[in-house]
Structure 1
C-alpha cells in the first residue's frame, strides 16, 4: 500500500485569541503546546506544513492586520511553512494563495488540521477538506474555542461552553464523515520528541 502524502494545516494560531476580554472564556489550555508538538514532528519528518492566518476585515477585531493580535504565536511564527495562506473567512480553502490547488499540485491527499477556533475555522476547513476528497484528521486537543451564546430564531437563547462546542464539533465531523478525530499523541506517537 502506498502511503499518502500528508500535510499539517495550522489554522489561525494568532496572539489576538489570547484577548479573553474580547472572546470570552476559552477551553483547552494545552492547545498551543500540542500545536507546537505537531509542528515539531512535521519539521522532524520533513512533511509539508501550511500556516493559515486570519486577517479580519473588522478594525475592532484583535485579528485585524493593523492590530498586534494579528501576529502568529511564537511556535507557529518560528515554523518554516511550505505554504502560507491568508484568509478573511472561515475556510482556509477560500484564502490566498489557493490552498486546494496547491495541495493537489503537491500531491498531498491527507490533511491533519489543528488550530483555533475548533467550531469555526477549524471545523469549516475540515468539512470542506472532507467534501473535496482529502483524507482529513482533526487533532482535537490541538484546537480550542470560546464560550458562545446568542438568540437563535425559532429556538430562543442558546448557550454553549467551549468544551461543549469542542465536543459537538468532534461529533459532527466524525459522525458526518467529514474527518477523523484524534489526539496529538495518536498522530505523532506518545514517545515522539516534542
Structure 2
C-alpha cells in the first residue's frame, strides 16, 4: 500500500449552514463514496479529515454536534484513520504526515469540501511535501464567494445577484487550472473508475 485517499471535510457542518443551498454539488457525498469504494477495493488507505473550531459556537464547534461525516458516508473504524484539523490544510495541525510516512504512502488522491479552500490548500502542501497528488475535481464542492468589499449582512439572494460574486463553477475551474501540472494531476471519478477497470 503506497497510496491513500484523503477525504476532506465532507461533514454535516456544511449542511447546517444557510449557504448550503448554494453548494455546487449537493450530492458530493455520493461522489466521495464512489472514491471510497474504489480505494477500499484497491487496498488503498482511506483517511477521513474533519474540520473543527472548538469554542467557536458555530457549526464547526464540536460541542454543537455537526462535526461528523455526512450521513451517507461510513468509516471503517478499525482500519481508516479519522483526524481533526483546525487549519485550512490537513497537515499543519494534525499528524497526517506522520501517519502517511509510517505506512509508506507516497501517492494521494484528494477530494472534499471546499474546493478552493481546504481541498486546494491541502493539495498544495502535499505537492510541496513531495507526494504525487491526484485531485478528483468532481468529488469536490464549494459555494459562491462574495466580493471582498460586499456587505457582510447581505442575504444569499443579494450575494448571488451581485455581478462581483464569484460563482462556484468559476472557483472550481480556477482551482483546476491553478493546480494542474503544478501541484496535482486533475481527474474525475469516472476516469479513476475507468482506470480501475470498472465502476465502484
The aligned residue for residue 92 of structure 2 is: 94
Structure 2 residue 140 is the aligned partner of structure 1 residue 134? no
- Structure 1 residue 192, shift from structure 2 partner: 2.8
- Structure 1 residue 112, shift from structure 2 partner: 0.1
Unaligned runs of 5+ in 2: 150-162
Instruction: Tell me: CA distance 1:173–1:192, structure 2 relative to 1, closer, same or farther (3 Å).
Output: same
Structure 2 residue 116 is the aligned partner of structure 1 residue 119? yes
Q: TM-score, normalised by structure 1?
A: 0.86
Structure 2 residue 166 is the aligned partner of structure 1 residue 168? no
Q: TM-score, normalised by structure 2?
A: 0.83
Residue pairs, 1:1-194, within 5 angstroms = 5-22=2-19, 25-57=22-54, 59-80=56-77, 81-96=79-94, 98-151=95-148, 158-175=164-181, 177-189=182-194, 192-194=198-200
Q: 5-14 or 16-25: which moved more?
A: 16-25
> How large is the Cα RMSD of the aligned pairs?
2.1
Instruction: Tell me: CA distance 1:165–1:180, structure 2 relative to 1, closer, same or farther (3 Å).
Output: same
**Quick check: which one's strand share is greater?**
1
Unaligned runs of 5+ in 1: none
User: Contact 1:54/1:70 (CA < 8 Å) preserved in 2?
Assistant: yes
User: Structure 2: how far apart are the matches of 1:94 and 1:87?
Assistant: 8
